[in-house]
Structure 1
Amino acid sequence: MSDFSFAMLPGIETEEMIWLQELTKSYSAENKQRFLSVYQSRRKDPQTILICSLIGFVAVAGVQRFLLNQIAMGIVYVVTLGFCFVGTIIDAVNYRKMTWQYNKKEALASAALLGL
């Protein structure tokens, strides 16, 4: 399995790809494939998070927080209309950082789940 397999993930950026290659450099080809399949099922696409952030302006605020497993913040966003849209604007600007933090946590959890 080549390191270019990570490039097929939707919305992946260079920083994330380099980090994943470094994380999996000692894995066998079979373990990399197992890791990729688990990680791909848990990973969130940054564009999806951006779209959900923007939905907060016209519908329910906080959907992006629920997708990122931040349930308490999602409830706060729903109740406060995304902190009167200020939090929604901040999330729309910082969607890449929020997604990267979530994906990094999920990559480590995927490796731990597989015992790698």
Structure 2
Amino acid sequence: METYNPYMSLPGITTEEMTFLHQATNELTDVQKQSFFMAYSGKRKSPQDIMIFTLLGFIGIAGLQRFITGQIVMGILYFFTAGFCFIGTIVDLINHASIATEYNKKMAFESFQIAKMGMY
């Protein structure tokens, strides 16, 4: 019998991310898992979103991908240097999936803490 997997509904989820989420929520109760999913799905950024925000760096809004991932100082540097003369923007375009994964792992940890405390 196949069980419902709410993580499948997240846009752009990878097998690596799904495995990480299952391991992270393994010790949670069903109610806590539901709280975790609600908190995490609201905070999560898909790799496609990061790629779109990075592409906006080529038309004058460099660093937007850094602002939305909470890297404010890097976002300001990208903005005022045109993405380090587009070199940083190109690197971020290539690494957009790893930027999203790094951010999502931080959000998973934060959501786990919220679920454990029963605040959501």
Separation (CA, whole Å) in 1 of partners of 2:4 and 2:90? 36
Q: What is the identity, as a one-letter code, of the residue corresponding to 2:22? A: Q
Secondary structure, in 3 states, of the residue corresponding to 2:97?
A: helix
RMSD (Å), alpha carbons:
1.2
Match of 1:63 in 2: 64
Output one character per residue of 1:3-56: Cα deviation in whole Å (capped at 9) or x when no partner.
Answer: 621111111000000110111112121111110000001111110100010110
The one-letter code of the counterpart of 1:25 is N
Contact 2:32 2:116 in 1 (8 A): no
Is residue 25–residue 33 contact of structure 2 (8 Å, CA) maintained in 1?
A: yes
Separation in 2, partners of 1:15, 1:68 = 19
Q: TM-score, normalised by structure 1?
A: 0.94
Once residues 16 and 44 of structure 2 are traced to their aligned partners in structure 1, the CA distance between those partners, rounded to angstroms, is 15
Q: Map residues 8-23 of structure 1 onto 2, 5 A cutoff.
A: 8-23=9-24
Distance 1:19-1:113 versus aligned 2 partners, 3 A rule: same
Q: Structure 1: which 5+ residue stretches go unaligned?
A: none
CA contact (8 A) 1:3 1:21 kept: no
Please tell me the residue identity of whatever aligns with 2:68.
L
Percentage of identical aligned residues:
43
The structure, 1 or 2, with the larger RCO (C-alpha pairs under 8 Å, 6+ apart) is 2
- Contact 1:65 1:73 (C-alpha < 8 Å) held by counterparts: yes
Q: CA deviation at 1:59?
A: 2.2
2:76 corresponding residue in structure 1: 75
Q: Residues of 1 paired with 2:18 and 2:116: CA distance?
A: 21
Any idea what the Cα deviations from partners look like across 1:76-107, whole Å, max 9, x if unmatched? 00110000000000000000001100000110
* Corresponding position of 2:116: 115
